[in-house]
Amino acid sequence: MAVLCGAAVHADPLAEPHLDIIPRTAQEAARIADVTAPVTSFDAAAPFEEMSAGAATVRARTNADAFSLPSGNIAFEDELKFKVGNGLFRKLWVSSPSSTLASDGLGPLYNARSCQRCHLKDGRGHPPEGPEDSAVSMFLRVSIPGTEADAIAGIEDYIATLPEPTYGSQLQDFSLPGHAAEYRLQITYEEVTVPLSDGEVATLRQPTFTAADLGYGPLHPDAMLSPRVAPQMIGLGLLEAVPAADIVAGADPDDADGDGISGRANIVWSTEFDQPMLGRFGLKAGNPTIREQSASAFVGDIGISNPLFAAASGECTDLQADCMAAPNGADDDRVYEIDAEGLELVTFYSRNLAVPKRRDVDDPEVLRGKEVFYTTGCTACHTPSFVTHRLRDQPEQSFQLIWPYTDLLLHDMGEGLADHRPEVRATGYEWRTPPLWGIGLTEQVSGHSYFLHDGRARSLLEAVLWHGGEAQGARDAVVEMPAADRAALIRFLESL
């Protein structure tokens, strides 16, 4: 990746060219400051708190479709667009050449045949649960260290990395006939016991990830691997509509206030807009928009070329000659394997997957758990609420009070969760704070209760106990608090 020059690198990284914004008035700014002010009373739920996504919130279903509904305020005429996008999201791609010209172009190397195969029921993926379980919702990212010459001008603190020369930027565990898969994901776990207060004990599992059965020779000796489980899809359009300035206002990279929390913004290069932008999406906030996140997943996970990432051979590299030369779905009549219209439909679908309404917000144990969450310091990273931009062309996301419980910033989570692989400005210890809305419905939607970037945590309590680094103090407080408060904290999280 060479240094990029030109006027674009001087663009304001907090600019939001993907949004058609109506500026806030002074009166609106004052109202927003009031409704998003820190909560100080825990006797009852805050006004509108059960409406996690504002007017876009939907009734919480009791089945696995709870994450698959359109925004609650979507116009009737846009529901068809949402459903067509859903069809593309679920579509199984096939190899080329094929009689199904609108669906061919898979691979030759791939992690899944559809978006839905990783984001199970639009929810969270999981690591393989046994030797016969194909890891369709988890893969390993890979890169090698770069040099100063590989940095991107205009992005301060950029950590230069390059794709692994043979295997690219992620490893694919599936391939078309006649091609070797790149690897087999192998995971082993070591049990770690954590004593808790009141005689309770928790058991964590420490994973070790191995890229076994490499199909194209050994990895570069400096290769850095990072396991990634597909995150849930709900509320993405609302997160995209949170003002960049409001997100960055929460950053404290030098810990000026001395609270031990040093959130940082990931500023990334936008392929779509050819300029630096605030990263919001991905486990390390490596993508700036839903469209770009979708496009990169198409080419990297499925091997489908598109207007932003035009490689018809997907993640194949120059050292995989047969892969590069394989038939693909692009031809004179079809420049990309999914065109701009198809990509926009998938983007619209992803933007409008609704957040379910919270449950039991006034339950006494939930309220006690909320108080524990706030007073323990969890809100230093899991910012409870924002108000989105006013938008001219996205009424579903326009000017909504939302409760995502994330600051969308990077935080050092300590050695226990470190992957030691940087991504743009994110170090090998940093992760983006994940949104917590909907987290209590994970098992209902996805059929499991695995959490964190690699699915190692088998429960919400285990996920909390893996927190380190900036969150070490909050984690230790959870270990030491009375068992009843710990249970109430989990009950609160389950209500989100």
375 falls within a domain? yes
d(CA 42, CA 21) in angstroms, rounded, equals 35
Q: Give the pLDDT confidence of 321-340 residue by residue, as tens digits.
A: 999 999 998 876 789 999 99
Which residues share a beta bridge with 21? Answer: 391
Rg of the chain over CA atoms, in angstroms? 22
Q: Is residue 1 part of a domain?
A: no
Name the β-bridge partners of 189: 207
pLDDT at 131: 64
Number of separate domains in the chain: 1
Instruction: Please indicate, yes or no, if residue 2 is contained in any of the structural domains.
Output: no
Inside any domain, residue 167: yes
- Residue 133 φ/ψ, nearest 5 degrees: -90, 115
Q: 302 is written with which tokens? A: 């499925």
Query: pLDDT (tens digit, 9 = 90+) per residue, 235-258?
Result: 999 999 999 999 999 999 999 999
For the stretch 2-16, pLDDT in tens is 344 444 556 799 999
Query: What is the rounded average pLDDT of the residues 88-99?
Result: 94
Once rounded to an integer, what is the mean pLDDT over residues 27-44? 95
Q: Please, which residues bridge with residue 215 across strands? A: 217
The encoded tokens of residue 135 equal 């890891």
Phi–psi pair at 174, nearest 5 degrees: -130, 155
User: What is the span of the domain harbouring residue 103?
Assistant: 7-495
Q: Is the pLDDT of residue 219 over 70?
A: yes
Alpha carbon distance 418, 437 (integer Å): 24
Q: How far is CA 2 from the centre of its chain?
A: 27
Q: Mean per-residue pLDDT for 287-301?
A: 97
- The answer to whether residue 284 scores a pLDDT higher than 60 is yes
- What is the rounded average pLDDT of the residues 111-140? 85
Cα–Cα distance, 191 to 198 (Å, whole number): 21
109-110 vs 410-412, strand pairing mode: unpaired
